[in-house]
Amino acid sequence: MRSVKIGAQLPMWDYHVHSEVSFSHIREVALCAEELGFDYVSADDHLSRGRGGRVYDSWTTLSALASLTKRVRLVTIVLCNLYRYPSVLGKMAATLDDVSGGRVEIGIGAGWKQEEADAFGIPWAEPRERLDRLEESVELLKRLWTEEKAYYEGRYYKLNGAVCNPKPKQKPHPPIWIGGGGEKRTLRIVARLANVANFAAPGIGSNKEGESEFDYFKRKRDLVKQYCEEIGRPFNEIQLSASINLMLWGKEEDYVKRSIDEAVSRGLSQGEIERMKHMFDTAVRTPEECLEKIKAYIDCGATYFTLNRCTPYGLRLFAKEVMPKL
């Protein structure tokens, strides 16, 4: 049995890779991942992309897939905390964990894409408040999932004798991933509350000149370890995740330029385009390069790997050429 967990990102929107955005395509990727022995499938959490791009909702999609799959775990990487009241999110997650036979993992973050929240009329907040809300939400979720009658008194969220029945099938609760790499606050929340740290994802990376993606990963890892030591939590209670970007597998040489030009024409924000450029910069082009990158991340301490922007072709090639060597 391999020592790392491998997951496949579902095509919830086109990711500048998929020619089709449909539930039939999402289902195809999920069933392909299950057939090939992947450990989990993941859904990200967006409401819109560019000028009206087609986007599927994460929770509705994972709920549908729970009845179509039997083994793969169902992971959100990551939810925007502001989009759902945490007590309702906790009830939704507990129900899906029961329905799926204990296969749910909850990834959640403070949120970053203000333009889609504004478009949907969802109140936004400055970074400090978003992080305060994230921390309260995770605390509240754990109470709701583990206590018979849950009480919580925070600045933003409350529970007043809430009964979550059914409880999640997993005990004490489904694993919680926390997304983001902020060093002053986010990684402290990770150290205190997360089961999985998700600070290395597509579009997230170093802005320090000369720092490689692996140096970035190790710097964040060491901070989480330091913060764990400060509060007396064993660092090995937290798994570290990394993402491997397959968006250039089988693509032509001019694909990058064409994709960026198309993104501009579709009205993606400058922030999204910069993230997109970073994704291209860190994408692998061959199975050999993919294996080398995964092994480098393993040496840095990563144990979870999400294959991003992957097609059924990419998953099958990975399963054939890379997975047996892990």
Contact, 279 vs 273, CB < 8 A?
no
Place of tokens 């450029």: 277
Residue-level pLDDT at 237: 98
Which of 304, 296, 260, 294 minimizes the C-alpha distance to 278? 260
Q: What is the pLDDT of residues 18-27, one digit of tens each?
A: 888 999 999 9
Using CB atoms within 10 Å of the CB of residue 231, give its burial: 0 to 12 exposed, 13 to 18 middle, 19+ buried. exposed
Instruction: Quickly count: other Cβ atoms within 10 Å of residue 172's Cβ.
Output: 9
Q: What is the pLDDT of residues 271-304, one digit of tens each?
A: 778 877 777 877 898 999 999 999 999 999 999 9
Residue-level pLDDT at 201: 62
Q: Which of 144-153, 244-253, 282-291 has the highest mean pLDDT?
A: 144-153
What is the number of alpha carbons within 13 Å of residue 245 lying toward its C-beta? 22
pLDDT band at 206 (very low <50, low <70, confident <90, very high): low
Contact, 16 vs 275, CB < 8 A?
no
Which runs of consecutive H residues, i.e. helices, occur in 100-149? Answer: 114-119, 127-146
Residue-level pLDDT at 97: 98
Provide the domain count of the chain.
Answer: 1
Residue-level pLDDT at 272: 76
% the chain with pLDDT above 90:
77
Structural domain range at position 91: 5-325
Residue 1 and residue 219: Cα distance in Å, rounded?
29
CATH number of the structural domain spanning residue 247: 3.20.20.30
Please give the residue that has the higher pLDDT: either 253 or 113.
Answer: 113
Residue-level pLDDT at 264: 80
Per the prediction, the chain carries an average pLDDT of 92
Which runs of consecutive H residues, i.e. helices, occur in the chain? Answer: 23-36, 58-66, 86-99, 114-119, 127-146, 186-193, 213-231, 255-265, 270-282, 287-300, 312-321
Which runs of consecutive H residues, i.e. helices, occur in 100-246? Answer: 114-119, 127-146, 186-193, 213-231
Residue-level pLDDT at 274: 80
- pLDDT exceeds cutoff 80 at 166: yes
Contact, 5 vs 36, CB < 8 A?
no
Which of 115, 120, 165, 143 minimizes the C-alpha distance to 270? 115
Q: What is the pLDDT of residues 225-238, one digit of tens each?
A: 999 999 999 999 99
pLDDT band at 50 (very low <50, low <70, confident <90, very high): low
